[in-house]
């Protein structure tokens, strides 16, 4: 399919979803579900069947050093109605959580990003605990594997990158030397190389040595 065809398909998708605002809302709902699934995996959702204070939740998780992050996470879930907050105490909104779980099974947008939700369900819940406990997080596997798979498997994500290059006059970069700061795990560099038919000199750099290592070993 040509880029023009992809754009038309994308516009039809956006129209069916309602609007860009609708897409943003779906994104927030999906992110809320992913976090909730992670919390459910470590027992926090069940713990919140009865109202609990933030400190009680922190004590339940154990050794929480980043209470600010826990509060920010909970407030985001309150905003998406996954949690309720009354007098400073949080409890799970079962009906909203079940609604999001149903959307996970049936909604095309949720299905497209299932790998992200599955990542929280499978491994990212452990990362969540480590971060709350103050671990110095540095993008190591399985976190790298989860995010890399999400970026490389999502058709919407790939189309977005290609559209940004097209709208930004990317074809004018052919034959040029390009510095990709914050190259990540290799997804963006691969997109650039393919978009320019490998007619460029691409230099990749990132803040984390192991991320650069992943990028260097990504197969094109």
Task: Write the DSSP assignment of 164-216 as a string of letters.
Answer: HHHHTTGGGGTTSEEEEET-TTTHHHHHHHHHTTT-SEEEEE-S-HHHHHHHH
Check pLDDT > 90 for residue 211: no
Say if residue 26's pLDDT is above 70: yes
Contact criterion met (CB below 8 Å) for 116 and 157: no
Report the predicted TM-score, pTM, of the whole model to 2 decimal places: 0.64
Peptide bond into 90 cis (omega under 30): no
Q: Between the CA atoms of 183, 186, 189 and 191, what dihedral angle is there, to the nearest 10 degrees?
A: -130
pLDDT at 133: 92
Q: Compare 119 and 136 and report the one with higher pLDDT.
A: 119
Kindly list the domain boundaries of the chain, sorted by start residue: 3-137, 152-216
Range with the lowest mean pLDDT among 11-25, 86-100, 133-147?
A: 11-25
Question: Measured between alpha carbons, how far is residue 18 from residues 15, 71, 123, 158 in Å?
Answer: 5, 32, 33, 22
In Å, how far from its chain's centre is CA 21?
18
SS3 state of residue 138: coil
- Specify which of 88-97, 115-124, 180-189 reaches the highest per-range mean pLDDT: 88-97
């Amino acid at each position: 399919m040509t880029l023009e065809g992809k754009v038309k398909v994308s516009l039809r998708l956006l129209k069916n979803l309602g609007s860009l605002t609708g897409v943003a809302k779906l994104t927030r709902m999906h992110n809320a579900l992913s976090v909730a699934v992670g919390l459910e995996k470590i027992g926090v959702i069940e713990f919140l069947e009865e109202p609990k204070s933030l400190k009680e939740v922190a004590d339940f998780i154990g050794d929480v050093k980043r209470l600010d992050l826990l509060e920010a996470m909970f407030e985001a879930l309150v905003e998406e109605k996954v949690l309720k907050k009354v007098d400073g105490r949080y409890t799970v909104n079962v009906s909203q959580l079940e609604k999001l779980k149903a959307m996970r099974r049936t909604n095309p947008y949720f299905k497209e990003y299932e790998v992200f939700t599955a990542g929280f369900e499978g491994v990212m819940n452990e990362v969540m605990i480590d971060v709350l406990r103050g671990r110095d997080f540095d993008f190591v596997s399985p976190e790298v594997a989860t995010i890399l798979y999400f970026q490389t498997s999502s058709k919407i994500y790939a189309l977005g990158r290609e559209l940004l290059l097209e709208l930004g006059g990317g074809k004018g970069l052919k034959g040029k030397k390009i510095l990709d700061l914050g190259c990540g795990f290799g997804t963006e560099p691969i997109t650039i190389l393919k978009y320019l038919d490998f007619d460029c000199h691409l230099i990749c750099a990132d803040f984390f040595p192991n991320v650069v290592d992943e990028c260097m070993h990504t197969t094109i």
